[in-house]
């Protein structure tokens, strides 16, 4: 829990996913209080470099790029997803370029 933060007064992020049973198409409704955004200066290099996997998503892009560019972040498997409005994809290649 060393990286957990409480943001007083911020609403909890939530999401609802509606799936069309016939096609599998998903529609996602979500909201995230801007005060929950992770800033690049909040990235703790030790937390990233000691990890076995790095998950990057379409939120907090500037902070995610800081994390991905740490020298040792390139040496382990990492997972990334596109924005919540696009299809999810993954990469486990340590040779991917950021």
Predicted TM-score (pTM) of this structure: 0.62
pLDDT in tens, 15-74: 999 999 999 999 999 899 999 999 999 998 988 888 777 778 778 889 988 888 886 655
Instruction: Spell out the domain ranges in the chain.
Output: 36-98
- Bridging pattern class, strands 53-56 and 77-80: parallel
Could you give the angle at the alpha carbon of 33 between the alpha carbons of 32 and 38, nearest 5°? 90
């Amino acid at each position: 829990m060393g990286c957990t933060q409480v943001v007083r007064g911020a609403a909890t992020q939530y999401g609802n996913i509606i799936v069309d049973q016939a096609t599998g198409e998903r529609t996602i409704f979500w909201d995230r209080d801007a005060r929950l955004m992770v800033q690049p200066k909040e990235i703790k290099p030790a937390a990233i470099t000691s990890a076995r996997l790095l998950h990057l998503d379409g939120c907090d892009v500037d902070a995610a790029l800081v994390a991905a560019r740490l020298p040792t972040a390139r040496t382990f498997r990492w997972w990334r997803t596109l924005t919540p409005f696009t299809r999810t994809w993954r990469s486990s290649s340590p040779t991917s370029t950021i």
